[in-house]
Structure 1
Amino acid sequence: MEARNWLTELVVAHEVGMGFGEDSPVRSPNSPSIGMVWGPRDPGEEDSVFLLVRAAQEASMVTNPDETTITFEYIEDGDQGVFRWFVDIVAPTPLKVATTSEAMAVLGEPQTFGVDAAMAILRDAVQAANLLIQQLSDYVAATKMPGHDS
C-alpha cells in the first residue's frame, strides 16, 4: 500500500506540474515522468521505466539487501525492443546477473496505465530480482566442491 501511495503522489505531482525541491520526498531531478495515462511499453518510455525502478529503490518502496540494486535495461532490436533485468551486487565482490532478454510487449501488465502500470513494473522487477538471486544461490550450492566450506 505504501508503494501505491508513493506512486499516486508521483503521478499527481507530474499531472499538476508541481516543481519540487531537492528535499521533496516524492520527486527529484531524476524522478520518472509518470502521468495518469503513462504506459511503460509506449515508445520512448524506456528511460521512465529505468528511472521508476531506481527511484523506488531510493525511496525504499522496493527494498533489497545492502550492496545490491535492481536495474532495468532496454535494448533496441530494430523492432519493438527487448528488455532485461539486472541484479548488481557490490559486496563482498562485484557481480552482475541478468535475466534473459524479453520482448517489451510482455513488460508489466497489458491494458494498465499510470499507477497500476507502475505497480506492475515494480512487481516485475522484484520477481525478476528474487528469481535471479534464487538461481545464483542454487548455482553456488550445486557447484560447491565437497570438503570446501567457502
Structure 2
Amino acid sequence: MVSFALDEEKVFSWLTEIVIDYEFSRAFDEEIQSRSGVLPPPIGMDWQPIEPGREDDVYLLVRAAQDADVITSTEGMVITFEFIDDGDRGFFRWMLDVVAPTPLKLATPSEGMPMLAESDVFGVEVAVVILREAVQAANLLVQQLLEHVAARKTPGHSS
C-alpha cells in the first residue's frame, strides 16, 4: 500500500519556479509571500541543505511540497523532517504524523545529516532527492504501522 507519492512531473516545474523566483527575479520574498500554505525555502542553483544553518530548509521544503500537492498522501497523514542538533553536523529523522482516527507520531531512526544528500548535488537536483527520500520514509513508516496492527490482531497474540 502506497500512502505517499511524489508527482514526478509536477516536482520539477514546481522547484524550477522556486529557483527562478529566487535566482532571477531576486523578488523571492515578495513573490513567494503571495502564495498560500507553507512557504518553500529560498532554493537557488547552489542550494545545499546539509550545510550548517540550512536545517529548517528541509522541513520547509517537505511541508511546502505537501501543501502544493507535489507530495500527496492519504488524508490525515503528514511527513515532516526533524533536525537534531548535536553541536556538530547534527542528525535528522523523518516523522509521520497521523491525525485521524487518533493522533499518532512515528519516527525513523536518526541519521547523520551528511546521509541526507550527497555533498556535490545542489539546487533542484538535491531537492528532488530529499523529496523522494521523504516519500520513501513516509511509506516505510506507514507499512511498519500496518504490520504492527496486523500482528496485534493475529490469534494467540497477547496484549
**TM-score, structure 1 length as denominator?**
0.90
Q: CA deviation at 1:142?
A: 1.1
Quick check: 1:108–1:124 contact (8 Å CA) kept in 2? Answer: no
Task: State the alpha-carbon separation in 2 of the partners of residues 50 and 125 from structure 1.
Answer: 10
Quick check: 1:69–1:87 contact (8 Å CA) kept in 2? Answer: yes
Of 11, 15, 19 in structure 2, the residue corresponding to residue 3 of structure 1 is 11
**SS of corresponding position for 1:20:** helix
How big is each residue's C-alpha offset from its partner over 1:42-66, in whole Å with a ceiling of 9 and x where there is no partner?
A: 1111111100000000000000111
Question: Which runs of 5 or more structure 2 residues have no equivalent in the other structure?
Answer: 1-8
Moved more, 37-46 or 13-22: 13-22
Pair 76,45 (structure 1): closer, same or farther in 2 beyond 3 Å: same
Amino acid at match of 1:37: D
Quick check: 1:84–1:98 contact (8 Å CA) kept in 2? Answer: yes
Quick check: 2:38–2:63 contact (8 Å CA) kept in 1? Answer: no
Amino acid at match of 2:94: W
Task: State the alpha-carbon separation in 2 of the partners of residues 21 and 139 from structure 1.
Answer: 41
1:20 match? 31
Of 78, 81, 90 in structure 1, the residue corresponding to residue 99 of structure 2 is 90
1:130 match? 139
How big is each residue's C-alpha offset from its partner over 1:6-49, in whole Å with a ceiling of 9 and x where there is no partner?
A: 00101110112122165548xx6732111110001011111111
Identical-residue share of aligned pairs (%): 53
Quick check: 1:109–1:120 contact (8 Å CA) kept in 2? Answer: no
Residue 99 (structure 1) aligned with residue 112 (structure 2) = no
Residue 33 (structure 1) aligned with residue 18 (structure 2) = no
Q: CA deviation at 1:111?
A: 1.5
1:108 match? 117
Quick check: 1:67–1:90 contact (8 Å CA) kept in 2? Answer: yes
Pair 136,21 (structure 1): closer, same or farther in 2 beyond 3 Å: closer
What is the count of residue pairs matched by the alignment? 146
**SS of corresponding position for 2:71:** coil
Matches within 5 A, 1:35-74: 35-74=44-83
Q: CA deviation at 1:80?
A: 0.7
Amino acid at match of 2:16: T
Runs of 4+ aligned structure 1 residues displaced above 6 Å come to none
2:5 match? none
Task: State the alpha-carbon separation in 2 of the partners of residues 21 and 48 from structure 1.
Answer: 15
Of structures 1 and 2, the one with the larger relative CO (CA 8 A, separation 6+) is 2
Q: CA deviation at 1:105?
A: 0.4
* RMSD, aligned α-carbons: 2.0
Task: State the alpha-carbon separation in 2 of the partners of residues 137 and 115 from structure 1.
Answer: 33
